[in-house]
Structure 1
Amino acid sequence: METKFTGIDGFDEILGGGITAPSTILIAGNTGSGRTILGVQSLCEAARNGEKVLYICITTQSENSIRESLSEYSFYEEALNVHIFNVSSVERDPLTMLVELGNIVNSVKPDRILIDPITPIGFGFPEAERRRFIYSLNSAIVEWNAVVYLTGTMSKSDVCRSVISDVADGIVHLSQEIQRRGSKRMITIIKMNRPNYIDGEHSFSINSNGVTIYPRITAPVVEETAQINRISAGIPKFDELSRGGLFELSATLIAGNTGTGKTLFGLNFIVEGAKNGEPGIISTFEDSPAELRRYAASLGLELEELEKQGLIRIIYTPPSEINACRHTIELRNYIQEMGAKRVLLDDISGFDYVFDTQIAKREHIANLIRLFKNMSVTSMFISGNMAAGSNILQTEIPVSSLADVLILLKHMDIGKEIRKTMSILKMHGSDHEKHLISYDISSEGVIIGEFLKDI
């Protein structure tokens, strides 16, 4: 059997490389979830690559109206063959529709067909007769020797009860949840006639370019074979405190109160790498690129100049617009595009807008860390979730156990003076300074001072 691509960003990836031809794929979902757009977009991409495609639309609209609506999308191709069946007719007389449909297919001889939607066909008939019709349709589809998409207005439970699920080679379910910040769209592969598809829920979006799917992170453990070297974090004296600097491919979590300079630590980490020929990415949920540039310039960091040289890229995503899967795909693509070796995420509390539970957030960050390591990237995460005055040894930082290096920045009242303090709480594979360390921030950046006391 041949494998064909859908031509839709992310779809072939979650399908495990494409769709087996011939096959029958059910695209199910609730109203407005994007079933038609997904199906038609795949037809148009196939037409662009020289395939013959046929769109069977069961509706009350005219062909001109359908084409006018589809032409609003950039993927639309005039080569799309469109044939309209009146919805009231197919509800009453599905067998006549099946005969006519067979004649159309024999005339066009398409490589791909979309029947949209299939659920109204024989709607008023008893269930037994509808089942017989679906089996008759399936027999016809086998003779067509094509990739056939069927759409249906169905919930997941409807799919399980429907006879269509018995005859379909693959089932894709789309869902849409209207939220305060917009629509949350998810796609799930329920069934597929190939073993290597990516299960679970994946996020997707719809705009004038059509459907874009953002596969969930799947980052298996890859055994490290090369020697792991030490790299500088860009903070004077920190390499000494960490007994040689950070390890390549490690994940560092900088946690602390507001005003402790967490972002500055991260900027130093990225700028130091870029100055040494290691491109870096800053993913920020709080500060805009302009704000980061001004902040860095006030502390003598050449952030903007390194951006111009293509050694640093800033990705700004306002918290209200965060889509975890899309954000991860963007990071992965930018890492590949610029050969990035360092990544900074500031601040991971932005994921609280996305995930309902800390468990889900923890799982996402764990997969992010593994993805970065697999891509030979050293990462740093900023967390502002530490409450002022809290015990420095409390495990209230949700993802602290995931990091290879945990650094806590904190304001402390010492001798009637508020001092900035740093504690290296853990550093996998290396000894490190155990004392509480004072530091200050000036126009010259981070200045590490004296040891204060044992933790």
Structure 2
Amino acid sequence: MEFKSCEDVVLNIMSTGIEGLDEVLGGGVLSPSTTFIAGTPGTGRTTLGIQSLCVAARKGEKVLYVAISSKSEAMIRQILSRFSFFEESINIRTFNVSSVERDPLTMLVELGNIVSSLKPDRILIDPITPIGFGFPEAERRRFMYSLNAAINEWNAVVCFTGTLEPSAVKSNVISDIVDNIIYLSQDLGIHITRRYIELMKVSGMSSIQGKHTFEIGTDGIAVYPKDIAQADYSINASGERISTGIPLLDEMLGGGLFEGSSNLIAGSTGTGKTVLGLNFIMEGAKKGENGIIINFDETPKELFLHASNFGWDLKGMDKKGSLKIIHTLPSALDPNKHMMQIKKAIRETKAKRLFLDAVEGFDYALVDPIERKQHIAALSRTFINERVTSLLTCLTPKNKEHQKMCDIQITSVADTVIMLQQSLVSSGLQKSLSIIKMRGSDHEKSPAVYEITSNGFVIEDPSCRKKTGP
């Protein structure tokens, strides 16, 4: 893609080569342009820059890595070769860190000669913050403006890295001369390190603001953008209904759930939320509709065993590819990565039904209740946009169903809310189901009695006192 400035200078959009980062940036970076990759030590600034260079080199671009370091080129190559993305063809030039601190002008002249000789398409200067470190601030600013003037002649995609705290980025002269600022940070938790990437400045692109997560592995960096898409309700405006797999529940709902809707099952422990959700998935299987189950507590093996007690062959469905199970431990959950996994699974399986059990799995990773609600709302929008009918479960404290629907108050984002309750009566525990709300449809207002049997979720028919199951 190309853009033309008012002076008819052609600006191309170039991919960064980093999974997810192009999406955050609105497509990539403009060429020519300058980008400052800032952050605290250990956040992956060099890895991000080098990976981008290597991917570009593999595609045939000429790239230059300028290392401000006390290490030799041979040692730098040896260190970088540990990454699977490393490309031997990249040009590396080193400048001694103590020399550039004292005499940055000599370095600028030498670098200019190197660029004139190589004519690279991309350049990474890593790091830029030590250059002229010993100079008074006014002289250092003058040098940076001289560097910027030189860069404007290079006609390349130029990236700098630098070690700076977030508060110091805005006041640093580098921020004045670059087009984009990418800031990397990390939270060092007891059990897991969470890494974040955010855009502090972007020129000429429609970017996604906010904190996005990323991971670093031997294959390099993968960025998981924060989802901010709006729901396209026109996609599911047909008003078609789909069966829950429980005939009397379909009747109570006015003919079943709306196709493409997002629906919530709330109830305390032991009320049968999971069984109802599995019933919904199995009904889809009968109709040839692929399904997805997202859970946090039961492993796939445990879920297969649980379902087999009702005669449901989830294991066979999984082997055939008609069912995809996404199981993640809450302590290891990256919500943005999880969202991308779900989208990928929906598209690969062409799933029509999805069961998420339970939303409390997000409590560990998203401590703030507002952030949790926003994430689950984003999930709901994703399901709508992907044309998937979803059931989500939510745990309510025992005997407090009416006072507190669920801990993170997500009922407002659901199209339908079904409440499951149980109480002690003379004959034992009695379970009842109530439809609290259903957008765009009339529904049964009175509760219905139900049981969990070997056939699954069974609602008692109030008219003839017989039981009707799946």
> So what's the TM-score if we normalise by structure 2?
0.93
Provide the rounded CA distance (Å) in 2 between the counterparts of 1:326 and 1:28: 23
1:269 to 280, 284, 294: 280
Kept in 1, the 8 Å contact 2:25–2:205? The answer is no
Partner of 1:100: 110
Tell me what 1:61 maps to: 71
Which residue in 2 is equivalent to 1:88? 98
- d(CA) in 2 for partners of 1:259, 1:391: 13
**Counterpart among 138, 148, 165 of residue 148 in structure 2:** 138
2:180 alignment partner in structure 1: 170
Across the aligned residues of Structure 1 and Structure 2, the Cα RMSD in angstroms comes to 1.5
Q: Which letter maps to 2:138?
A: A
What residue in structure 1 maps to residue 5 of structure 2? none
Residue of structure 2 equivalent to 1:191: 201
CA contact (8 A) 2:266 2:405 kept: no
Q: Secondary structure at the match of 1:249?
A: coil
Q: 1:289 aligns with which of 291, 295, 300?
A: 300
**Structure 1 residue 95, shift from structure 2 partner:** 0.6
Q: Residue in 1 aligned with 2:19?
A: 9
Q: SS of 1:387's equivalent?
A: coil
Q: What does the per-residue CA deviation read over 1:59-108, in whole Å, with 9 as the maximum and x for residues that have no partner?
A: 11122221111111111100111111111111111111111111111121
CA distance in 2, matches of 1:103, 1:97: 10
Structure 2: how far apart are the matches of 1:219 and 1:270? 26
- Supply the distance in 1 between the matched residues of 2:402 and 2:426 (Cα, whole angstroms): 19
For the Cα contact (< 8 Å) 2:67–2:95, is it kept in 1? Answer: yes
CA offset at residue 234 of structure 1?
Answer: 1.6
SS at match of 2:170: helix
Q: Write out aligned runs for 1:225-240 (5 A).
A: 226-240=237-251
Aligned residue among 188, 202, 213 for 1:203: 213
Q: CA deviation at 1:297?
A: 1.0
Identity %: 51
C-alpha separation between the residues in 2 aligned to 1:167 and 1:49? 28
Out of 347, 356, 372, the residue aligned to residue 345 of structure 1 is 356
SS of residue paired to 1:148: strand
1:217-239 alpha-carbon deviations (Å, 9 max, x no partner): 12213241651200011224211
Letter in 2 for 1:329: M
Structure 1 unaligned regions, length at least 5 = none
Among 356, 366, 374, which residue is 1:363 paired with? 374
| Match status 1:213 vs 2:223 | yes
SS in 1 for 2:277: helix
1:128 aligns with 2:138: yes
**Matches of 1:139 and 1:290, distance apart in 2:** 62
Matched, 1:224 2:224: no
The TM-score, its normalising length taken from structure 1, stands at 0.96
- Distance, in Å, in 2 between the alignment partners of 1:223 and 1:418 is 41
Q: 1:275 to 1:18 in 2, by over 3 A?
A: same
Q: Does 1:43 align with 2:43?
A: no
Counting only pairs closer than 5 Å after superposition, residues 281-320 of structure 1 correspond to structure 2 as: 281-320=292-331
- The correspondence of residues 286-435 of structure 1 with structure 2, limited to 5 A, is 286-384=297-395, 386-392=396-402, 394-397=404-407, 398-415=409-426, 417-435=428-446
CA distance in 2 between partners of 1:286 and 1:260 (Å): 17
Specify the alignment match of 2:128 in structure 1: 118
Counterparts in 2 of 1:223 and 1:237: CA distance versus 1, 3 Å? closer
1:58 aligned partner, one-letter code: I
Contact 2:268 2:401 in 1 (8 A): no
CA shift for structure 1 position 302:
2.5
Q: Secondary structure at the match of 1:326?
A: helix
CA contact (8 A) 1:324 1:354 kept: yes
1:130-156 deviations in Å (ceiling 9; x for gaps):
101100110111111100000010122
For residues 295-333 of structure 1, the C-alpha deviation after alignment (integer angstroms, 9 at most, x for no partner) is: 111111132222222111001101111100000011111
Aligned AA (1:77): E
* One-letter code aligned to 2:375: H
Q: Determine the C-alpha separation between the residues in 1 that align with 2:427 and 2:352.
A: 43
**Structure 1 stretch displaced more, 361-370 or 271-280:** 271-280
CA shift in 2, pair 1:194/1:271, >3 Å: farther
Once residues 223 and 243 of structure 1 are traced to their aligned partners in structure 2, the CA distance between those partners, rounded to angstroms, is 20
Give the match's secondary structure for 1:7: coil
**Deviation (angstroms), 1:195:** 3.3
1:180 matches 2:186: no
For 1:279 and 1:391, the matched residues in 2 are separated by 32
Residues 370-429 of structure 1 show CA distances to partners (whole Å, capped at 9, x for unaligned) of 111111111111112x11111425444421121111111122112362222211111112
| In 1, Cα distance between equivalents of 2:276 and 2:448 | 15
TM alignment of 1:428-443, pairs within 5 A? 428-443=439-454
* Structure 2 gap ranges (5+): 1-10, 464-470
In the alignment of these two chains, the number of paired residues is: 451
Residues 236-283 of structure 1, C-alpha deviation per residue, up to 9 Å, x if partnerless? 421122120100111111111111111111111122113212211111
Partner Cα separation in structure 1 for residue 390 and residue 88 of structure 2: 47
One-letter amino acid matched to 1:53: V
Q: What CA distance in whole angstroms lies between the structure 1 residues aligned with 2:238 and 2:252? A: 22
Q: Which residue of 2 aligns with 1:29?
A: 39
Report the Cα offset of residue 159 of structure 1. Answer: 1.0
What SS does the aligned partner of 2:107 have? helix
**Partners of 2:457 and 2:367 in 1: CA distance:** 36
> Which amino acid in structure 2 is aligned with residue 332 of structure 1?
K
User: Taking structure 1 as reference, are residues 107 and 12 closer, same or farther at Cα in structure 2, changes over 3 Å only?
Assistant: same
Kept after mapping to 2: 8 A contact 1:392/1:408: no
